[in-house]
Amino acid sequence: MSKTIQTIAIGFVVAAGATVSASAETWDMPMAYPATNFQSETGAKFAECVTLGTGGVLEIQTHANGSLYSGAEIKRAIQTGQVNIGERLLSGNQNENALFGFDSIPFLATSFADSEKLWEAAKGPLSELLESQNLHLLYSVPWPSQGLYFNREVNSLADVKGLKFRSYNTASARMAELAGMLPVQIEAAELSQAFATGVAEGMVSSGSTGYDSKVWESLSHYYAVDAWLPRNYVMVNKDAWNGLDSATQGILNGCASLAEYAGDWRSIQYNEFTVGELAKNGMTTGPASPELAAELAKIGETMTAEWLETAGDEGKKIVEAFKASK
Ligand code: PCA
């Protein structure tokens, strides 16, 4: 951390001098999740840090809850320069490249500690892939471990045959298919309505998104199966990044390091709070039955094999480096 703080301190001093001549610029930063969610709060603090650090030369304004672009639109909007910066759940783009789904391989990294190790293994290749797509990676924060939500008690997959299952990436949709459910892609911003109207009857997600969407109004059961910890990523358009002077880049990097560090902690704390809130609001919460857990483990094996096949040598290297670091 001391190096980060040093970077920021140097940046502050240099940028304070720069304010005299540089003209102020505002970057809009679309985000897909509600303003009160820990990912959005981390982004808002990051934006404040940059605005403060550059003395207002570069002001970042966040737009939460898909209000500027929906989650599905954000990556393209940054790539094409419609906005210079934004946040996206990258596994939502796994259809472009399997590597984007490294964080959603079932039962590979199921704790915060393992998620960090997997991230260390994947960061290099993922950054390179993003650079090749005109994107510069700033920071990434994991969602808490993913559990299963349903509008009924579920003891085995026979209980969810044909159930409409909300998906948010390739893995969540594939899990639904293999479990005999019907995947329906729905943005988090639309979730409460989707459950209230019966468009969806279950999902895989964290306690935090269940809490944000008050799912207890429509759903009754939450099973903590620890499927995976998907990540959000804050990315900058590469041309916009290259157009910044090195002092400003230093401030963004420093603020990004702080955001990643603080975001990890927020994720842990928000998880404990939100899973507790599900129960307080009347949901039945707990582990999956042994039968359900065994069925899910089998699905996990199939999905892991499928991912390794599609992701090729690069994917294998990430998984091997992760396993070696454990
Ligand atoms: N919440 C996000 C992604 C993973 C999570 O915990 C969502 O459900 O859209």
Domain extents in the chain = 2-142+230-272, 147-227+284-325
205 lines ligand 1 (CB under 6 A): yes
Q: What is the DSSP letter of 227?
A: -
Question: CA torsion 160→166→170→176, rounded to 10°?
Answer: 0
CA-nearest of 84, 66, 86 to 25 is: 84
What's the Cα-to-Cα distance from 193 to each of 96, 198, 206, 279, rounded to whole Å? 29, 8, 18, 21
Task: Annotate 65-77 with b (16+ C-beta within 10 A) or e (fewer).
Answer: bbebbbbbbbbeb
170-178 and 290-325 are packed helices; what angle lies between their axes, rounded to 10 degrees? 140
270 lines ligand 1 (CB under 6 A): no
What is the biggest distance separating any 2 CA atoms in the chain, rounded to whole angstroms?
Answer: 68
CATH class for the domain made up of 2-142+230-272:
alpha beta
Architecture per CATH, 147-227+284-325: 3-Layer(aba) Sandwich (3.40)
Segment 206-251, tens digit of pLDDT = 999 999 999 999 999 999 999 999 999 999 999 999 999 999 999 9
Atom from ligand 1 closest to the CA of residue 166: 8
Average pLDDT taken over every residue of the chain = 94
For ligand 1, atom 4: residue with the closest CA: 205
89 lines ligand 1 (CB under 6 A): yes
Segment 275-300, tens digit of pLDDT = 999 999 999 999 999 999 999 999 99
| Domain pair 2-142+230-272 / 147-227+284-325, same fold | yes
Segment 152-186, tens digit of pLDDT = 999 999 999 999 999 999 999 999 999 999 999 99
Residue 5 has pLDDT above 60, yes or no: no
For ligand 1, atom 6: residue with the closest CA: 206
The preferred substitution site among 90, 143, 186, 208 for testing ligand 1, maximizing ligand atoms within 8 Å of CB, is 143
Q: Confirm if 176 and 186 have CB atoms less than 8 A apart.
A: no
149 lines ligand 1 (CB under 6 A): no
pTM here is 0.93
Task: Annotate 169-180 with b (16+ C-beta within 10 A) or e (fewer).
Answer: bbbbbbbbebbe
